[in-house]
A = this chain, B = another copy of it.
Amino acid sequence: MPEKILVIGGVAAGATGAAKARRTSEDVDITVVEKGKYISFANCGLPYYTGGVIKERSSVLLHTRQSFGKRFNTDVLTRTEAVDIDPKSKTVLLKTSKGEIERPYDKLLLAVGAKTFIPPIDGVEDVPYFTMRTVEDADGVKDFIQKHNPESALVIGAGFIGIEVAEAMLHCGIKPTVVEALDEVMPNFPHVVAMNLREKMLEDGCEVIVKTFVTKLEKNEDIIKAHLSDGRVLETDMVIMCTGVKPAVDLALNAGVELGERGGVAVNERMETNVTDIYAAGDLVEKVNLITGKKVLLPLAGPANREGRTAGTNMAGGDMTFKGVLGSAVVGFEGFVMAQTGLTYEQALQAGFDADYVYTEDVNRASYFPVHGHIFMMTVFDKKTGKLLGVSACGPDTTEKKIDHAAVALYAGLTVYDLEHLELCYAPPFASAKDNLNIAGFVASNELRGSGYLVKPEWILEQVRKNTGLQILDVRTAEEVDEYKIEGAKHIFVNDLREKMDMIDKSRPVYVYCAVGFRGYLAVRNLRNRGYEAYNITGGIEAYKRLVRL
């Protein structure tokens, strides 16, 4: 009798697990059970299908039940929900439209993913809202738009899906209002980076309300009223709940599968749970963060696929391990890109690292090439070892490319000293000869070697606001200074600094800035060489201005 492999959940981790199990062995029976109508569909494409960027519905259906079943010699049961697992008798109770059936297994893969977290909003049970997890969800939104021609949509939550759904609404000609309870959009990014996305969203006609939550929803005729925690009441034609997800662990718990401290299913490197012959993979499991060694939840497609691949191999008699995640992620909004990998500064401190960070900002292509833009980058590293811990960035296209550079570097355990030496592809239409991560490496390494003399713009802003009378020096051109400068800063253009150095009080520290930090660095080197106690504001006025606007 061939071994029976039963996979519960037929999307990213489940479909990959089943396919990999089949590739590993022809001598197993494989069944995939999926609650929804479709298997192996493109979750990540749903906001783009909703917004019309992806035109054809068939595009997001990667496989049919039949095509998947035939290719991987797999029994695929859609519209079938696993309601109970009995690990003793090794059976699963399945609910179908025709009633309940029992199905035996030798090896079981739990890949039921996550479910949208619905916050405890007053009235949420009585007011219709949409979510964005399944093809049916996207169908529902599109159908509603076609039938009701809504003018406005309330998007609750400003994470990945909230941002993508807001963009989709704009594409549908609907005015989106995004409400986020935490301090900033994309709250898992550093605020100084994420605020740029918020500004871009506002610029493009999207209303964004942060530090505010919806307390109550009510519906009158076709209008939905959303009461906000700040007392405001919004009227909207539709509500889309993008409030994040939590692991779908009910089935696991019933089967005696243990959870970890983050509330996801606990698995080992082979994707095995504590219950013999029950594996789990995808959004419902906790993953090891490769940098901290600690467990995290990270509901992203890349890890889900790799976990499914690992589980599938092992269930079919192979041997594979999944070591963990970095948290590489990207979100786009109307051409603006925000991406990160590894730890933010706060996460690094929490994990016990003696962490530091630098801000850099530079062109994504040769500055003399007509198509180019600036990428703002926050690079986090360990002060003692120089080890790279994480990078967050925002800017035009190719921002995610620069974060990918960092993701490979992080995976390999490189230091900021190594970043100086990365040899990336360069020609003017593609990059700059000194690429963004090289520059972050220069700046961070100089600081660690003791030749950077950086000071944080956060501290400067605090001092300026307290009016403590710092000696601040602006070394940009007169035209740049005219546009915006730090209140009370002296101005000497970097090229004139040698001649005019007497204007600076040598008995006091001097805090120097330019646009992004490079001319400031030159000036500080110059001043230090002449015996001044000079510091360079990391990230320059461009980082400072972001903090002012936060």
Contact = CB atoms under 8 A, between A and B. Distances in A.
Nearest to A72: B522
Interface in A407-433: 407-409, 411-414, 418, 420-431, 433
B369 A400 contact: no
A234 interface: no
Contact of A328 (B67, B337, B423): B423
Nearest to A61: B368
Interface in A325-339: 325-332, 337, 339
A330 B529 contact: no
A530 interface: yes
Contacts of A525: 22-24, 26
A368 B53 contact: no
A301 B426 contact: yes
Contact of A305 (B23, B164, B433): B433
Contact of A421 (B301, B405, B411): B411
Contact of A71 (B302, B408, B522): B522
A409 B407 contact: no
A48 interface: yes
Size bracket, chain A contacts? 35 or more
Interface string A5-27: 00000001000000000111111
A73 interface: yes
Contact of A430 (B24, B26, B330, B426): B330
A423 B303 contact: yes
Most chain B beta-carbon neighbours within 10 Å: one of A59, A331, A433: A433
Contacts of A60: 368
A469 B425 CA distance: 44
A495 B70 contact: yes
Contacts of A24: 525
A407 B433 contact: no
Contact of A433 (B301, B403, B420): B301
B370 A302 contact: no
